[in-house]
């Protein structure tokens, strides 16, 4: 199956949730012996962090990481400037493994076939990324690197939706309703929704996959009805305008604090 460079999505059964169940080729080591040893050390440290996160230690200390990797704490900081850099490298490492093993989701043919392939890859992606995503919740507010990486992930998910469901999205009347449909689909398919179903509602992989499929179908099937809908109201407009004003005020305050005023 051709791999998908964009990133589309996951697994249908419980046993396929972990990236380890899909074996992908490891990155090649440099030919130079010293450089190869350095790469292996970095990989071992990153994998140690990932294994600790996978076990539920969302913010492991450098001492714990060093012990798991079989190296000294000094070695960690010889290869990584700080723990944030290590975290970003570890996230990139597992992300690369996942991407290598994602299947290509077609953008033509019957909706049933496209949706089934999409849900398979989405499930695989979310289950594989869950440990690192849980850890990223603690880092994202304070880490520009993590925030940027997650922003890119969300952008790629949106692009995947636009590509795979282009046929159905083209039936929405007007650009605004089409954009609304894409955002509605994003609400359905994002990892936050997956985590809510898996962790809070205690759904199995198969059950969560089925619920997402139901949501996707519901959004895509609403194209004809959207033309007659009017969800805007003066009251809602005032609430949104007030929220926008508050957000703008917060941004201005942040700039003032940054400038030292």
Paired tokens of 128 = 């594989």
CA distances from 120 to 49, 55, 136, 205 (A): 27, 25, 24, 10
Quick one: average pLDDT of 125-133?
Answer: 84
Name 103's bridge partners.
3
Q: What's phi and psi for 240, nearest 5 deg?
A: -65, -40
Q: Domain 14-226: give its CATH superfamily.
A: Tetracycline Repressor, domain 2 (1.10.357.10)
Quick one: average pLDDT of 152-159?
Answer: 83
Task: Report pLDDT digits (tens) over 16-47.
Answer: 334 334 444 455 666 667 778 888 898 899 88
Kindly report the length of the chain: 261
pLDDT at residue 224 in the model: 72
Quick one: average pLDDT of 215-237?
Answer: 72
- pTM for this entry: 0.65
Task: Return the axis-axis angle of helices 33-54 and 83-101, rounded to nearest 10°.
Answer: 90
* Contact between 98 and 19 (Cβ < 8 Å): yes
């Amino acid at each position: 199956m051709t791999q998908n460079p964009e990133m589309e999505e996951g697994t249908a059964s419980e046993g396929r949730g972990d990236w380890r169940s899909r074996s992908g080729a490891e990155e090649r080591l440099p030919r130079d012996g010293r450089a190869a040893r350095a790469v292996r050390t970095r990989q071992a440290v990153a994998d140690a962090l990932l294994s600790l996160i996978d076990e539920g230690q969302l913010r492991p200390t450098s001492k714990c990481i060093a012990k798991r990797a079989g190296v000294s704490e000094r070695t960690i900081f010889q290869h990584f400037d700080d723990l944030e850099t290590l975290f970003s490298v570890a996230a990139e490492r597992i992300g690369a493994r996942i991407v290598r093993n994602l299947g290509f989701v077609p953008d033509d043919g019957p909706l049933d076939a496209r949706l089934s392939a999409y849900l398979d890859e989405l499930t695989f992606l979310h289950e594989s990324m869950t440990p690192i995503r849980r850890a990223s919740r603690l880092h994202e507010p304070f880490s520009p690197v993590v925030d940027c990486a997650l922003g890119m992930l969300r952008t790629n998910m949106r692009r995947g939706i636009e590509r795979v469901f282009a046929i159905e999205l083209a039936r929405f009347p007007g650009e605004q309703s089409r954009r609304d449909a894409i955002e509605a689909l994003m609400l359905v398919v994002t990892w936050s929704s997956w985590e809510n179903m898996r962790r809070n509602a205690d759904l199995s992989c198969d059950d969560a996959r089925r619920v997402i499929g139901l949501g996707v179908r519901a959004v895509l099937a609403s194209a004809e009805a959207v033309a007659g809908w009017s969800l805007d109201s003066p009251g809602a407009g005032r609430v949104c305008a007030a929220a926008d004003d508050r957000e703008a005020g917060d941004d201005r305050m942040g700039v003032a604090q940054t400038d030292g005023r």
